[in-house]
Structure 1
């Protein structure tokens, strides 16, 4: 069923970034679903290259993940039920889907490019708070986010602990580990060493760093998949000698060797990505993610979360090596230290990090029940029903079936 949405761009006035720099007018593109009743607002935080278009199916707009990227989770009768909740999703500062970022025009009429101020996840949270004020929304029923959006959700518990009742962080962590920092660094280097990047001033030149951004996206896709999922999806199969390598030129010897399915997949993904995303935005957003540290300014993660008095749900996936189950459990333990009711729901999955996008049957039930009843919710899926009796048997509360009690 198509989801109706209000899509708009809010002009929020002067905005001072955490780096100390300001812009005269922060514009935030957002979509809102459902009706606000004063206490039913749910903020959804998108992932790195996602957009505000979390659920609606528009005939115009961006392609790929940016279009209806969580429509299996958000909508009428779904886990985040738009007939029950007022759902808001905002494109974050630094991105390229309508919110102010490097590709936006500066006061001089030219694109900001790398003149745009450095952006942090804290800036995302503060911009979201400003947008909600603009919309007349005070305290949130919940903040929900996946991947770096899950970091964004955790930042709400630190920065605005009195403004949110429930926090859901899916496939996220308190901070990136050195391996992911290294891969993000290589991805950025691929962009900045592309001659067409031109120091970030490629707007209006007719050129853009497609090769560098494409390579960065390929590195990202490898991070999002697991060994198991790559083996199942591609193996060592050849895509065929007649397949065209459009994305990147091949060396002369390549014709002797097979062009493998996994290479073809990555080339296809990079070609689609460079059509819809801005290279400078990729630089800005990955740096915001890399910089995030839940405990920054505090003695520990628990100390950072100490003022939060709501409830929390962490969800992780066993084959996700980008944000691991151990990293989610560490955040859950920080909540427990503060006596915050918390559930850590671990999903057995071989999909890797992308599981939070492609396994709605595993993400939806615990999310739905947590939004309704907190950690007392019961995650009952259709496959768990007692078909013989025609009734649902008793199930353990969500938190009783979780990792490390």
Structure 2
């Protein structure tokens, strides 16, 4: 074996025809992936990205598209690529290299659009498994992911428990609660109500206004009351709304009788985030990925979450964020109890942050240390990982 390094490889793999769990098939599925470090036989870690992330885990930060965990993964970092071989794959249905709705259907020469099959978290795991098989990896030291990437990690423990030594679900839950389902439904309607939507077959145009509103609604759920109060308060913005279709205000507000002081800092921030997002993401992909998240249920085809995890004999580290109302601390407590009922050695670390759900991305100084300790602890014979490892 060669000496481990922090070498990075950005590549793609054709899996040929692929049948999704919905029963529909596409003639070819291309999966984009990136690896970091050198594989030594027992040091592979699969990192699962969040909703609009990509396989570009490190590098120059570009929102959640690229470099989204650059301060967690890399040489000498919490997931140390001098020691670990990290694999990250873009999930099916996305728009970052793996086949999705914006990809060309080889049978028609046009984008799939509305013809692209519905995807599930299970489909993501099946594709990742086939990628790992191609890379010659039959055992994972760990699977780690945040938000819906944490659901991805949980599904690995359920579906392929014999392949996983450790699982690290971060800021996630076994399913979405009704409030998040409702908000997601409104975001979906924002996209499909855009006149440019065209039933999902809008290429080369894009329903930017609807996608921007959907992203703004989603972004609100990633923040906390405390963080929004600290960042924006009730202050008015220094400049008036721009012409970007996401703001939905400007002239309409003036017609309705609102004055120029009706545009606040918090709105300006949401407009800025939406403008960045529509430049990098596809509306169809957003709908497919949110649909997969909405429909995920760890206990599917089982009597309980504990039964779903019963075959997993490794170890688990659950990380939650105190200010997170997207995936709450209580949901991680429930997961902890489910792992324990399944006989799995598990530790739950609730991290204090006022920054809400996004803290798992924006506060690596909080999230990194427990991950580092969990991965560096003795794993011979799956030795129990005790809570004392994570004392403040």
Q: So what's the TM-score if we normalise by structure 2?
A: 0.93
Q: Displacement of 1:376 after TM fit?
A: 5.9
Q: Displacement of 1:355 after TM fit?
A: 0.6
SS at match of 1:332: helix
Where does residue 69 of structure 1 map in the other structure?
68
Q: Displacement of 1:13 after TM fit?
A: 1.4
Equivalent positions of 1:330-345 (< 5 A) are 330-345=334-349
SS at match of 2:366: helix
- 1:308-367 deviations in whole A, cap 9, x for unaligned? 000001000111000000001101101101221100000011000001001111111110
SS at match of 2:94: coil
Match of residue 323, structure 2, among 299, 315, 319:
319
Structure 2 residue ranges without an equivalent (≥5) = 1-5
Where does residue 195 of structure 1 map in the other structure?
195
Q: Which range is displaced more, 241-250 or 190-199? A: 241-250
SS at match of 1:397: helix
Q: How many corresponding residue pairs? A: 377
Superposition misfits of 4+ residues, deviation over 4 angstroms = 374-379
In 1, the alpha carbon distance for the partners of 2:74 and 2:44 equals 14
Equivalent positions of 1:6-405 (< 5 A) are 6-57=9-60, 63-106=62-105, 107-204=107-204, 207-242=205-240, 244=242, 246=244, 247-248=246-247, 249-250=249-250, 251=252, 252=254, 253-373=257-377, 396-398=388-390
SS at match of 1:303: helix
In 2, the alpha carbon distance for the partners of 1:308 and 1:262 equals 44
In 1, the alpha carbon distance for the partners of 2:160 and 2:355 equals 33
SS at match of 2:77: coil
In 2, the alpha carbon distance for the partners of 1:353 and 1:109 equals 40
- 1:68-96 deviations in whole A, cap 9, x for unaligned? 00000000000000010100000000000
- 1:225-266 deviations in whole A, cap 9, x for unaligned? 000000000000111254535343421233343310000000
Q: Displacement of 1:4 after TM fit?
A: 4.5
In 1, the alpha carbon distance for the partners of 2:351 and 2:118 equals 35
Q: Displacement of 1:108 after TM fit?
A: 1.3
In 2, the alpha carbon distance for the partners of 1:321 and 1:190 equals 22
In 2, the alpha carbon distance for the partners of 1:40 and 1:69 equals 22
Where does residue 382 of structure 1 map in the other structure?
none
Q: Which range is displaced more, 237-246 or 167-176? A: 237-246
Contact kept in structure 1, 2:345 and 2:385, CA below 8 Å: no
- 1:162-217 deviations in whole A, cap 9, x for unaligned? 0010000000000000000000000000000101011111113xx21000000000
Structure 1 residue ranges without an equivalent (≥5) = 380-395
Q: Displacement of 1:372 after TM fit?
A: 1.6
SS at match of 2:259: helix
SS at match of 2:141: strand
Structure 1 residues 28 and 137: CA distance shift in structure 2, 3 A: same
Structural RMSD (CA): 1.7
In 1, the alpha carbon distance for the partners of 2:351 and 2:373 equals 16
In 2, the alpha carbon distance for the partners of 1:155 and 1:75 equals 25
SS at match of 2:142: strand
Q: So what's the TM-score if we normalise by structure 1?
A: 0.90
Contact kept in structure 1, 2:196 and 2:207, CA below 8 Å: yes
Structure 1 residues 208 and 143: CA distance shift in structure 2, 3 A: same
SS at match of 1:20: coil
Q: Displacement of 1:57 after TM fit?
A: 3.2
Q: Displacement of 1:67 after TM fit?
A: 1.3
